[in-house]
Structure 1
């Protein structure tokens, strides 16, 4: 049985697409007979991240992380994030001459710039060095691969995400059936980098519904009192909020994929978004969403998209296939000579 150490700074109780992706990947890998050990903040002391207390940063010594990986005696190491745990795992790999794979989940430089006056070039230099030192970096789509390659990232391979079409399905009764229609829904972190204000500022009929939590919630809730904010929802309760909606609005300009788009489609809800990385790759020419730099126009256009078409498209993205691609990438990258 192969042994994998999967290292991530993003983990429960965080509620986001990265955590859901990694947790599902672990479960599916175990079905393939892979022994997966998670190295996460759950095993260490953490402190709240400045300006974003919902995210906890690990505070520990590199030696403790090294011992945790040593106990696994891993055949493979995958480092999913560039945070404190990721850096300490990278140090272990250097010391032991072990190749590691990475995956690019978050446009970290753009997130930093949204909060602090840090030049993109500085942040990209940091993350580029981290990922280029690995044996490969897994990316979710063509647009992201092209953008990273232009910034000097090497050994990029594809890892397309899946969606849980059992949990997320259009047959779950709506949680909020009495909201004035049409219902335009956002699901995700309520934070500045998600560009939610672009959605809430639109002059739209019906109801704007926001599901999720984060540091910008109090401010947005005060500024947009007509919108409905529910906080985080999980499992069937989250599905019931998706099925309450007529259109899923994805205003982010910084996401690499946007798993919530796939969850909405699996529930039969069409997507309205800007034509940028993530939406252009998820929606493409499927006819399951409306992409327009005029977000209001996209929202109204999406109302006419058949829900059955959205569900049928989502059914093409299985987690089984996604995780098989991840595992194939991991094995191939660790058997090929490393090129410059």
Structure 2
């Protein structure tokens, strides 16, 4: 099947949406599908207001139309509600082409956090955007309930996965090579090696409470950093709020943006992964941490409620400090075992089962009418 994916989130952005799409496109290719992605790297872009790390495509209409006609996809999937997603939606609607969408981000809540606009204003726009889709792929049941309460009845559950080859409790190849096989170090990830050296040469005061992800106002990171906890607080990630938070919380260890190989070392080292967000639809970092054996502490809100629930792999409580301390008592085998059930192969299979398959004549060039046969009569 030929699948066209339109997204405003793509590398070099580092977030859960990009991670999901990276894994998804690889698994779709492995399953024999042909995939084309329309992403910001194909266009001239401008920085997103208040979030310059995200680039928004300028006037993508012509290129989107060219991709639709040239690729002639069997199915069209729209990932985001940005310029590329909007252009694709309007063009396929104009041609009566069926399509699917995804809901990755609690956009109304993010807009309220950044600009103060009422949630119901942005929710109306999202309802207009997603309502014509054959299916809106949503990562959790509670998020489906929220969207249904906002007038979207076409939501389906599309779960996420975790790469257990990268994220697992076993000592990494880099750590083993550093201790036992120095000759093999040249083949290891250099950022990962540098982080291992840093951790080995630093006195770590236990317990270690870790957050990994975007450092931005909507992540509610101050709720974690202001907790009175024993040991150390670590943060891996970057974003527009980092400088201000570093200044406000000088006792926190800041590791910056890390690739997966290095990030897995932090998950293995930390005692508890603290997730203070109140607005995430899922939270891939929850799965990554648990796959490495690190239990989770979080608020009982959308995302953690669905991902962790009553699994015993973490502690959810309105008092985040209480949750963090209680999570210290969880055996690390519990989150590891629980996370192993979330696979990217299943994610890709779910995705294809929801796609809207269209008529192959939709983008075909109109044929000239055939002349009528000449009569045999004189």
Same fold (TM over 0.5): yes
2:229 to 181, 199, 204: 204
- Superposition map of 1:122-133 within 5 A: 122-133=121-132
User: Take 1:36 and 1:274, find their aligned partners in 2: how far apart are those partners?
Assistant: 37
Structure 1 residue 334: Cα displacement: 6.3
SS at match of 1:112: helix
Aligned positions, number: 333
Alpha-carbon shift at residue 179 of structure 1 (Å): 2.1
The residue aligned with 2:267 is 242
Q: Is the 8 A contact 2:43 2:60 kept in 1?
A: no
What's the offset of the Cα at 1:61?
A: 4.0
Corresponding residue of 2:44: 45
Q: Structure 1 residue runs of 4+, over 6 Å off? A: none
| Cα pair 2:60 2:83 within 8 Å, conserved | no
Q: How does 1:138-157 map to 2 (within 5 A)?
A: 138-157=137-156
Conserved? CA contact 2:207–2:232, under 8 Å: yes
2:282 aligned with 1:257, yes or no? Answer: yes
Distance 1:37 1:179 in 2: 46
Q: 1:204 to 1:76 in 2, by over 3 A?
A: same
Q: Does 1:308 align with 2:307?
A: no
The answer to whether the Cα contact below 8 Å between 2:209 and 2:272 also exists between their aligned partners in 1 is yes
Q: Give the corresponding residue for 2:190.
A: none
Shift of 1:68: 1.9
Q: Supply the distance in 1 between the matched residues of 2:84 and 2:269 (Cα, whole angstroms).
A: 38
Q: Distance in 2 between matches of 1:313 and 1:117?
A: 38
Q: Aligned equivalents of 1:15 and 1:212: distance in 2?
A: 9
Unaligned 5+ runs, structure 2: 176-194, 360-378
1:188 aligns with 2:213: yes
Task: Say whether 1:226 aligns with 2:225.
Answer: no
Would you say the 8 A contact 1:243–1:269 is kept in 2? Answer: yes
Q: Aligned partners of 1:87 and 1:279: how far apart in 2? A: 30
| Deviation sequence 1:298-337 (CA, Å, 0-9, x none) | 0000001011111111111111111101111115x869xx
Moved more, 241-250 or 264-273: 241-250
What is the CA deviation profile of residues 50-80 of structure 1, one whole-angstrom value per residue up to 9, with x for unaligned ones? 1111111111241222112221101000000
Q: Deviations over 1:119-157 (max 9, x none)?
A: 111100111111111111011111001111011012111
- Partners of 1:241 and 1:54 in 2: CA distance: 24
Aligned to 2:353: 328
Q: Comparing 173-182 with 207-216, which one deviates more in the overlay?
A: 173-182
Q: Does the 8 A contact of 1:135 with 1:334 survive in 2? A: no
Does residue 74 in structure 1 map to residue 73 in structure 2? yes
Instruction: Provide the alpha-carbon RMSD of the alignment.
Output: 1.3
Counterparts of 2:283 and 2:320 in 1: how far apart (Å)? 17
* Residues 12-91 of structure 1 mapped to structure 2, 5 A cutoff: 12-91=11-90
Are the aligned partners of 2:97 and 2:358 in contact in 1 as well (CA < 8 Å)? no
Cα deviation, 1:32-61, whole Å, max 9, x if unaligned, reads 111000100011111111111111111124
Structure 2 match to 1:338? none
Give the number of the structure whose alpha-carbon radius of gyration is greater. 2
Give, in angstroms, the shift of residue 4 of structure 1: 0.6
The answer for the alignment partner of 2:10 in structure 1 is 11
Distance in 2 (alpha carbons) for counterparts of 1:242 and 1:227: 16
CA distance in 2 between counterparts of 1:40 and 1:64 reads: 11
Q: How far apart, CA to CA, are the structure 2 residues paired with 1:328 and 1:334?
A: 14
